[in-house]
Amino acid sequence: MRLFSLEGRLTILLGAVAAGALLIYLAITAWPLPVFVQWATAQFGGKFEAAWLRNPRNGVPLTLIVLLPLCTWLAHNAISPLRKLLRSLEGAVASYRDGDFSISIASRRRDELGALIKMHNALGSTLREQRHNLTQRELLLDTVVQNTPVALLLTDAVGHIVYANIAARHLFNEGRNPNGLDLHELLDEAPAPLREAFASEGDRLFGVELDGNEEIFHLAQRGFRLYGSPHRLFLVRRMTRELSRQEVATWKKVIRTISHELNNSLAPITSLAHSGAELVRRDERERLLAVLATIGERARHLHGFIAGYAEFAKLPAPRPQTVNLPEFLAQLALHVRFRVVGAPPPQGSFDPGQMEHVLLNLLKNAHEAGSAEDEVELEMQRAGTQLRIEVRDRGSGMNKTVLENALLPFYSTKRSGSGLGLALAREIVEAHGGRIALANRDDGGLRVTLTIPQA
């Protein structure tokens, strides 16, 4: 037991009280009070007997009567520092609750309460440092958000704007802070494509005429809860320059691909034409027929290549209709072999001609990937308001680079591929308002997932 611990202090105090009680009892029953009473009685002729004080039955109550005020004084002096300390801790905790971490408590105590005060002060120092770091991070984040070229709007549950960065102020309110304004009222004077984009539930790409030039914007919106209340975040990004650069890059790639394919076909045709002329001159008709057949084969290949590009460029808008899914799968099975997994829903809504083209392409790719015929699977199921279609195989799968680029136009790992099959599939699915995703399966092979909204 340490001397300056609370237990040690209490032991000393109780010992002092016990010693004081003994001294008071002896003073009342033995000396000096009985001696003084006997002397006073002899001097002044009193009748009080000193023997009465020496009786323990009388000395104990007198001792308690004298000891009570002494104990009260000692208790007050012992508890007073603790009471002050508790008031200080109470004030510090109240300050922490209000977000003020600047309170420290000065104390020289060397007991458990002193250790508690040191821990409290260390906690305050840590909280102050964390508050300072948090303030710096918030300042940095606000600086980044305010100066980003992406227009950012945050609205509350009733559609009032609670935050807008500089780009949003210039785009929606002529540079003025729109905080507190109703978003729908703010958009009343905006161009129709902008209003329609904000009225939609998902992401949108739209064009708006600004200063006589058409600008392309991308709107992303997400809902979330902030401080327990629903909020909605809108991000509007100007895409004109980026799309222009992407368009130029795409055209360059198209030109390179077409040039490569044309050279691969025209160079042999030119050479074979020269050889054919020489065979005509020599009157070697049998060899001439083989040369003409090769020229025809190369011409048909080139025609098919150009037709594929034309199909991709002239893809019509889908015409969704109610489709009997079991009959649709039976018709699909006439063209390519696959195994149906599970029972498909009775009906679906999509353009049957375009979706048949997509699934034929995916199933043929599954066979070309090296999968066994009975391991090429197709599954259809409803997932809420979506029709989910999966094409699975046990082929070679795709590496990371191919997965990232497989859906891009003109990207192909096949020697004679045009790179339009999966790109056309993506174009058709997204024209239906759906999504297409590629992923490798755990035990080998590829999974292609289509999700198509249902009316």
pLDDT at site 96: 80
pLDDT at site 1: 45
If we measure between CA atoms, which residue out of 41, 33, 38, 91 comes closest to residue 66? 33
pLDDT at site 115: 81
Boundaries of every domain in the chain = 6-122, 148-238, 243-313, 321-453
pLDDT at site 323: 92
The CATH superfamily holding the domain 148-238 is: PAS domain (3.30.450.20)
Tokens 């594929």 belong to residue: 308
Alpha carbons within 13 A on the beta-carbon side of 317: 2
Q: How would you write the pLDDT of the chain (455 residues) with one tens digit per residue? A: 444 666 777 777 788 878 877 787 777 777 776 666 666 666 666 555 556 656 667 667 777 777 788 888 877 887 887 788 788 888 888 888 887 878 788 777 777 777 888 888 888 888 888 888 888 888 888 888 888 888 899 999 898 999 999 998 988 888 888 899 998 888 888 888 888 888 887 788 888 877 667 788 888 898 888 888 999 999 998 877 766 666 656 666 666 666 666 666 677 777 777 777 777 777 777 777 777 777 777 777 666 666 666 665 666 788 899 999 999 999 888 888 899 998 999 999 999 888 998 899 899 888 888 888 888 999 999 988 899 999 999 988 888 887 777 776 666 666 555 566 788 888 888 888 899 989 998 888 999 999 999 86
C-alpha to C-alpha distance for 268 and 292, rounded to whole angstroms: 12
C-alpha to C-alpha distance for 246 and 147, rounded to whole angstroms: 25
Using H for helix, E for strand and C for coil, what is the string for 342-403?
CCCCCEEEECHHHHHHHHHHHHHHHHHCCCCHHHCEEEEEEECCEEEEEEECCCCCCCHHHH
pTM for this structure?
A: 0.43
Cβ–Cβ < 8 Å for 315, 425? no
List Cα–Cα distances, 316 to 185, 219, 310, 312, 426, in angstroms.
37, 25, 11, 9, 14
| AA letter at 298 | R
If we measure between CA atoms, which residue out of 51, 13, 6 comes closest to residue 33? 51
227: left (phi over 0), alpha (psi -120 to 50) or beta: left
Pair of tokens at residue 399: 């590496």
Burial class (CB in 10 A: 0-12, 13-18, 19+), 138: exposed
User: How many residues can be counted in the chain?
Assistant: 455
Using H for helix, E for strand and C for coil, what is the string for 202-260?
CCEEEEEEECCEEEEEEEEEEEEEECCEEEEEEEEEECHHHHHHHHHHHHHHHHHHHHH
Please name the residues in contact with 145: beta carbons below 8 A apart, sequence gap of 6 or more: 152, 165
Q: Which of these CATH numbers, 3.40.50.300, 3.30.470.20, 3.50.50.60, 3.30.565.10, describes 321-453? A: 3.30.565.10
List Cα–Cα distances, 247 to 238, 240, 306, 317, 405, in angstroms.
15, 10, 20, 21, 17
Q: CA end-to-end span of the chain, whole Å?
A: 80
